[in-house]
Structures are given as structure tokens and as C-alpha cells.
Amino acid sequence: MSVTTSASASRQRAVAVVGGLIASLALATVALPDQVPAGVVLKGALFGSATGLLAVGLVLTYRTTRIINFSYGAMGSLGGGLAAALTVGKGWNWGQAALAGIATGVVVGALVERLVVRRFANAPRLVLTVATIGLAQLLGGLAIYLPTWLDAPAFIPRVHTSLSETTSGGAGNASASRFATPGVWTSTAR
């Protein structure tokens, strides 16, 4: 009985700490808009959430298949490269291109599962791990050449969206070199 009470108390403390950090960030963006622009904080939360979701996906993949899937990032980069190339090269709306990229990621993931993971299901784990390394090279190569096949530049430095200007804080203080993460403030000079 005390174990569940201890776990419940620990969970309540964790929720209180995270809630306090979020509240302090929200207060800082209101009280100090030039030093802590809301757009930078929101962008940091978005990138941090995306990184966390990627990490959870990698752990779930390992837990279900018992292999380290080295092609995990390359599967996502193919869909992301497609979305960027459609936006820049073909002039698609970024929302439509993002949906096409997500659909590509789903299709690539299903194909990898059907054609590679299931084929090597009874093979030693090391063989399947090496197969995912080869798959990462293949998908990475496709992602590199994809923009040029869609008339986009080979290097796409930025895709402009309707959210591109949300990082502007007062007096042009929100540069790309200023990052805000919960509890850590790092500012570098231009």
C-alpha cells in the first residue's frame, strides 16, 4: 500500500515541478518580452516535444522488435525531405506538403516493416540490426536526391510557413541564436 502512495506522491511532485516551470516561462514571456520572446519559447517547446516523441518512438520500436533500428531517422528524413521539396520546388502549400510528408513516413514505415523486419524476423538480432544500417543508407541516399528530382535546390535552408514570423520579440531581439528551454537560458551574440 505504501508503494502506491509513494508513487502517487512522486507523480504529484513531478507534475508540480513541470507545472511550475511552465508557469514561470509563461510569466517570463509576459514580464520580459524582449529577453524571453514568446515565439522563441513556443518554438523551443515545439522542437523539444518533437525530439521527445522521436525518442519515445525509438524506444517503442526497440521494445517491440528487440532491435536497434538505425533506419528510424532516415525513414523520417525521407518524408521531411519530400515535404520541403514539394514546398520549395513545386510551390505546394506547406500544410499540404507536411501531410504528404507524414503520409510518406507512414508508407515507408509500413514497407520497412513488411519487407525488411518481417523477412528477418527469425534471423539473429544482429543480422536485422545490420539490415537496418543498410536501409538507413538507402533511405538517406534517396532523401538527398529527392529535392533535385522535384526541381528544388539540393540544399533547402528554410521553408517559409505562416508560423515563420512568430519568433519576433520586441526590438528584433529574437534571433536564431537565442534558445529558450525550461530552466535553461542561453544567449549568444550575433
Measured distance CA(185)–CA(60) in Å, rounded: 31
Mean pLDDT within 20-25: 87
Label residues 41-56 b or e (16+ Cβ within 10 Å = b): bbbbeeeeeeeeeeee
What is the pLDDT confidence band of residue 2, given thresholds at 50, 70 and 90? Answer: low
Per-residue pLDDT, 146: 85
Per-residue pLDDT, 152: 79
Model pLDDT for residues 113-132, shown as the tens digit of each residue: 898 888 888 888 889 889 99
Per-residue pLDDT, 103: 95
What is the β-pairing status of strands 178-181 and 184-187?
A: antiparallel
Whole-structure pTM value: 0.62
Domain boundaries in the chain? Answer: 6-28+37-65, 68-157
Mean pLDDT within 148-158: 76
Averaged confidence pLDDT in the chain: 80
In DSSP notation, 71-84 reads THHHHHHHHHHHHH
Model pLDDT for residues 56-102, shown as the tens digit of each residue: 988 998 898 888 888 888 888 889 889 988 988 888 898 999 999 99
Per-residue pLDDT, 68: 85
What is the pLDDT confidence band of residue 21, given thresholds at 50, 70 and 90? Answer: confident
Number of H helices, E strands in the chain: 5, 2
The more confidently predicted of residues 177 and 7 is: 7
Return the SS3 of 121: coil
